[in-house]
């Protein structure tokens, strides 16, 4: 019995340490179907609003989407059908230093750097590229095979193609308004600002993407006379929108309760 009581404080301390080690939380206000998987647990947890996320966690949005807010203010939107591993994210508020790595699988992601980090050493990795960032807002697209495209909406990035294959890799600078692609042969193409108008693509849920592509807009009312102005574009259309939702999707059952704070908050 003495041994049991001696171990209880250690267990409690372990739980407290885990709670303090979180690197961010879910900022998506309504549950959209994404789940989180921790390597030390075989269970899956629904990523409801305010649920904390941890290092090494896999965020799987294969059947939904989500948005994460990290401790330094960085925001990462994970589009429908996307996966990202939060390998490491270390922010020291005293020195303002951010380090670590996010590893992107197939999908579409929108990344916006936080304002609290003064020295950003975070790496953004895809199967064919590694990026360093400087005050950046960007959109990352990764194909199933690993081919990568990055659109720099704001700031700049330094990109190294296939760092694991190159003994002396060269860094490619990509500035605001430009885009860069990397194929499976590690070939890099930079698209100039004039060829790449700045815009942020919509991250849609699978249901909305299907509706947008398969449901044509009904025709507008017939013109009454030559003096009547034409109908504005999109009247009566059902185009799907931004991927947001006015109601929540029922989350799957949590597989083990590995993390605190899995309740939905509005």
Kindly report which listed range (116-130, 171-185, 248-262) carries the lowest average pLDDT score.
Answer: 248-262
Note the pLDDT of residue 2.
44
* pLDDT value for 194: 64
Running DSSP on this structure, what letter comes out for residue 5?
H
Q: In whole angstroms, what is the distance from residue 150 CA to residue 238 CA? A: 29
pLDDT band at 39 (very low <50, low <70, confident <90, very high): confident
**Tokens 């109601």 -> residue:** 247
pLDDT average, residue stretch 94-98: 90
Task: Indicate whether 246 pLDDT > 90.
Answer: no
How far is the C-alpha of 74 from the C-alpha of 208, rounded, in Å?
Answer: 26
Alpha helices (H) along the chain: 2-20, 206-214
Question: 154, 98 in Cβ contact below 8 A?
Answer: no
> Average pLDDT of the chain?
77
The candidate with the shortest Cα–Cα distance to 59, out of 17, 93, 106, 19, is 106
Pairing verdict, β 119-126 and 97-104: parallel
Q: Identify the pLDDT of residue 213.
A: 42
Percentage, residues of the chain above pLDDT 70 = 64
| Full DSSP string of 93-112 | TTTTEEEEEEEE-SEEEEEE
pLDDT surpassing 70 at residue 21? yes
257: Cβ contacts below 8 Å, ≥ 6 apart: 43, 45
- Nearest in space to 190 (alpha carbons), one of 168, 161, 169: 161
Task: State the CATH architecture for 22-210.
Answer: Sandwich (2.60)
- Mean pLDDT, residues 203-226: 47
Torsion angle defined by CA atoms of residues 232, 236, 242 and 245, in that order, rounded to the nearest 10 degrees: 140
User: Which of 111-115, 240-244, 253-257 tops mean pLDDT?
Assistant: 111-115
d(CA 211, CA 130): 35
- Helical spans, DSSP H, in 23-134: none
pLDDT exceeds cutoff 60 at 114: yes
The reported pLDDT for the residue numbered 235 is 42
Domain definitions of the chain by residue range: 22-210
Q: Determine which helix (DSSP H) or strand (DSSP E) holds 188, and give its type and residue range.
A: strand 188-191
- Taking residues 251-264, what's their average pLDDT? 41
101 Cβ contact partners less than 8 Å away, ≥ 6 residues apart: 87, 88, 122, 123, 124, 125
Question: For 65-69, 174-178, 220-224, which range has the lowest pLDDT when averaged over its residues?
Answer: 220-224
- Inform me whether the pLDDT recorded for 196 exceeds 80: no
């Amino acid at each position: 019995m003495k041994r049991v009581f001696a171990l209880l404080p250690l267990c409690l301390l372990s739980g407290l340490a885990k709670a303090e080690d979180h690197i961010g939380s879910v900022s998506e206000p309504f549950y959209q179907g994404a789940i989180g998987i921790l390597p030390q647990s075989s269970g899956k947890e629904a990523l409801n609003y305010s649920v904390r996320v941890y290092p090494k966690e896999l965020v799987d949005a294969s059947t939904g989407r989500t948005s994460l807010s990290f401790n330094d203010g960085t925001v990462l939107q994970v589009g429908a059908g996307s996966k990202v591993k939060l390998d490491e994210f270390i922010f020291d508020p005293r020195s303002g230093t951010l380090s670590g790595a996010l590893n992107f699988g197939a999908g579409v992601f929108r990344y916006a750097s936080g304002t609290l980090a003064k020295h950003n050493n975070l790496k953004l990795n895809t199967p064919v590229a590694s990026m360093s960032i400087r005050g950046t807002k960007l959109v990352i697209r990764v194909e199933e095979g690993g081919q990568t495209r990055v659109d720099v909406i704001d700031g700049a990035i330094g990109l190294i193609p296939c760092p694991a294959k190159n003994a002396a890799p060269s860094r490619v600078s990509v500035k605001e308004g430009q885009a860069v692609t990397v194929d499976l042969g590690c070939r890099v193409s930079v698209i100039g600002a004039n060829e790449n108008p700045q815009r942020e693509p919509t991250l849609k849920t699978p249901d909305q993407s299907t509706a947008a592509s398969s449901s044509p807009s009904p025709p507008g009312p017939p013109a009454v006379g030559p003096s009547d102005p034409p109908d504005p574009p999109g009247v009566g259309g059902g185009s799907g929108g931004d991927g947001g939702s006015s109601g929540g999707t029922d989350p799957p059952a949590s597989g083990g309760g590995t993390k605190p704070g899995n309740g939905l908050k509005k």
